[in-house]
Amino acid sequence: MRLNIFLAIVFVLLVLANLYVRPDETRLNFEFLPEMVRTPSYKAFDTNENFSNGMTFQAPPANTVSQDIAPDAYGASEADAIRAGEELKNPYGADDLAAYTRGGQVFKTWCVPCHGGGGKGDGPVAMRGFPAPPPLTSQSALAMKDGRIFHVITHGQNNMPGYASQISAEDRWKAVIYVRSLQRPALDAAAAAAPASPAPAAGAAPAAPATPASPATQEVRP
Ligand code: HEC
């Protein structure tokens, strides 16, 4: 009985208190741990007193490898470029039409600005003062192995910057296939000229050694 009277009084007091404390629409509600409700935000290049170097944008810890950039055993040096040429093989076959098509897109997007559509070194960037690259059909480029061209795209060469962070390894290999297709006429001409000199025996038939040689060296004819 006493408990009921007490509860009734508490109830009435609560109703009265509720009527008395009118909601104030203009006032914010109570925030528990306001820093969690409103996290302080920093822009990437803001100064930041939370880090010992005072910067917001932190460099990744040493030896960190990005998930989508495969570890690369080669440096940017000429020696490593040559080694890449000896050791790396294109995972895509020269007759892989899908790889060739994609390689063409990669080339148009990333290489044409400097190298030009036909690889002559007359892209719009080169036409506006950037040191013009040599034609991709020059002797030095023809002599490059696939792995070395891959290395040039990955690490750059002299005035050409590396594109490892913009172009995936797969796309770089596909671009190599496309570069080879641009070089095809020059490679064919070189292959036709080459067997003539080291063929002292059959002087009457200089065309004969060229025939078995071409299917082996022919890579792309899409
Ligand atoms: C910013 C301009 C630029 C872009 C973009 C560029 N290159 Fe180059 N590239 C150059 C220059 C300049 C050279 C010559 C470097 C040198 O003097 O050794 C070169 C050299 C090369 C060579 C070696 C040629 C040789 O005979 O030594 C290859 C192969 C090559 N580039 C392929 C590519 C491919 C493939 C792409 C696209 C993925 C590309 N480049 C994008 C400027 C560029």
Decide if 87 is inside a domain: yes
CA dist., res. 114 & res. 108, Å (int)? 10
Protein residue closest via CA to atom 9 of ligand 1: 160
The rounded Å distance from CA 93 to ligand 1 centre is 23
Decide if 171 is inside a domain: yes
Q: pLDDT digit string (tens) for 144-170?
A: 999 999 999 999 999 999 999 899 999
| pLDDT of residue 221 exceeding 70 | no
Q: pLDDT digit string (tens) for 5-24?
A: 999 999 999 999 988 887 78
The rounded Å distance from CA 37 to ligand 1 centre is 51
Per-residue pLDDT, averaged over 185-206, amounts to: 67
Number of domains in the chain: 1
Decide if 30 is inside a domain: no
Could you tell me where the DSSP H helices lie in the chain? 2-20, 34-37, 78-87, 97-106, 112-115, 124-127, 139-143, 146-155, 169-193, 210-217
Q: pLDDT digit string (tens) for 20-69?
A: 887 788 888 888 888 888 888 899 999 999 999 999 999 988 988 777 66
User: Hey, which of 78, 111, 182 would you mutate to test ligand 1's pocket, going by the most ligand atoms within 8 Å of its Cβ?
Assistant: 111
Measured from CB, residues less than 6 Å from any atom of ligand 1 are: 110-111, 113-115, 125, 130-131, 133-134, 136, 138, 140-141, 149, 152-153, 157-160, 163, 175, 179
Q: CATH number, domain at 87?
A: 1.10.760.10
